[in-house]
Amino acid sequence: MKRLDVALGQRSYPIVIGRGAIGEAGAVVSRSARRAVVVTNAVVAAHHLPALRASLDAAGLAHDVVLLPDGESHKNWATLHDLLTRLLELKVDRTTPIVALGGGVVGDVAGFAAAIYQRGIPCVQVPTTLLAQVDSSVGGKTAVNHPLGKNMIGAFHQPSAVLVDTACLATLPARELAAGLAEVVKYGAIRDAAFFGWLERSMAALLARDDEALSHAIHESCRIKAEIVAADERETGERALLNFGHTFGHAIETATGYGTWLHGEAVGTGMMLAARLSERVCGLEAGARSRVESLVAAAGLPTVPPKLAPDRWLDLMGRDKKVERGRMRFVLLERVGHAVIRADVDEAALASVLAA
């Protein structure tokens, strides 16, 4: 097992990475509780719930299981309401942690419920998709979607631990694996040129699910995110860099209907658009822009955005969480491994990217 720590003072927590990490759940939960509520969905439960329950049983922990509907289209108020109702029916108190077993939808909805139920209860994240393992389970962002915008209703609520079991990736569909690789590419692009170069050399191994390559990619992604979150927990500055490709990507998801494009697919295409805008606005070298585009394509991600009218793009991006005082802010690259936040993007440059 590898371990990282998200350094947030009293809210610090470990990220445990390795095969069999689900087996650590009982020991983690039993340190502060005698009961738990597992939140998952039927698809994930069929593969991974027995191992989690065995760990909780071995630690002498009573536990209930709540199943959520599967898919991004269910990451909404109705699902959140149903989960909160179930917690009330189970008479969950403030000492009872939620154990979120699943991908980003399960983690976000369960985490949001933990943030607001009785004004906050503990949450242990056990992510089972690559995207959740490298991104959404770490950092305490929780939310549900709204028809007018993705992740617009939520709260910051740090987990008490993140358990990343790399064995879960063996059952992950190829499309979901590629979607997770988009977030991995993001970390190299914004923060670590050497890691980006390693990804260029190792993409075939990652797609083949080589355990050593996946473990390294997850560790480095979580390391970078943990550093950024520790420096800017509430996204008042540097943490916004983690949204590279997301301004375009969230617009794609909202426009096409949640779940039509996977989040990572939309982010991958969004990074390509952001790289093209970076070339026009920040002077990103054409070779660097080409490297971003080539790595996105090598990961098996879509390379052509949906056909949206420029006004539709602008309307959707205008609701982005990075908008300040009515001005859109974009995460752009000055070079591979170094991102900046720019609010002075020329309208003509943006229009040319959208038109192309």
Band of pLDDT at residue 269, cut at 50, 70 and 90: very high
Residue 320 confidence (pLDDT) above 90? no
Residue 254 confidence (pLDDT) above 80? yes
Residue 44 confidence (pLDDT): 98
pLDDT above 90 as % of the chain: 95
Q: Which of 268, 235, 236 is nearest to 253 (CA)?
A: 268
User: Of 24, 72, 220, 235, which one is the catalytic site residue?
Assistant: 235
Residue 326 confidence (pLDDT): 76
User: Of 76, 145, 151, 243, which one is the catalytic site residue?
Assistant: 243
212 is catalytic: no
Residue 321 confidence (pLDDT): 79
235 is catalytic: yes
Mean pLDDT value of segment 305-312? 93
Residue 84 confidence (pLDDT): 98
Mean pLDDT value of segment 67-79? 97
225 is catalytic: yes
User: Of 63, 150, 186, 250, which one is the catalytic site residue?
Assistant: 250
- What are 188's two structure tokens? 């190299």
119 is catalytic: yes
DSSP per-residue codes, 108-164: HHHHHHHHHGGG---EEEEE-SHHIIIIITSS-EEEEEETTEEEEEEEE---SEEEE
Q: Which domains does the chain have, with CATH numbers?
A: 2-171 (3.40.50.1970), 183-355 (1.20.1090.10)
β-pairing verdict for 161-164 and 149-156: unpaired
Residue 204 confidence (pLDDT): 98
151 is catalytic: no
Residue 299 confidence (pLDDT): 98
- CA distances (Å), origin 118, targets 128, 148, 266: 27, 28, 35
Residue 353 confidence (pLDDT): 95
β-pairing verdict for 338-342 and 330-335: antiparallel
Residue 138 confidence (pLDDT): 98
User: Of 63, 246, 276, 329, which one is the catalytic site residue?
Assistant: 246
Residue 76 confidence (pLDDT) above 80? yes
Residue 322 confidence (pLDDT) above 90? no
141 is catalytic: yes
Residue 199 confidence (pLDDT) above 90? yes
Q: What is the average pLDDT value for the chain, to the nearest integer?
A: 96
User: Of 24, 72, 176, 183, which one is the catalytic site residue?
Assistant: 183
Q: Kindly report, residue by residue over 88-131, the tens digit of the pLDDT.
A: 999 999 999 999 999 999 999 999 999 999 999 999 999 999 99
Residue 238 confidence (pLDDT) above 90? yes
User: Of 63, 216, 225, 329, which one is the catalytic site residue?
Assistant: 225
pTM: 0.96
Mean pLDDT value of segment 194-217? 98
Asked if residues 136 and 151 have their Cβ atoms less than 8 Å apart, the reply is: no
Residue with tokens 């170094």: 338
Band of pLDDT at residue 327, cut at 50, 70 and 90: confident
Residue 325 confidence (pLDDT) above 90? no
- What are 15's two structure tokens? 């990220």
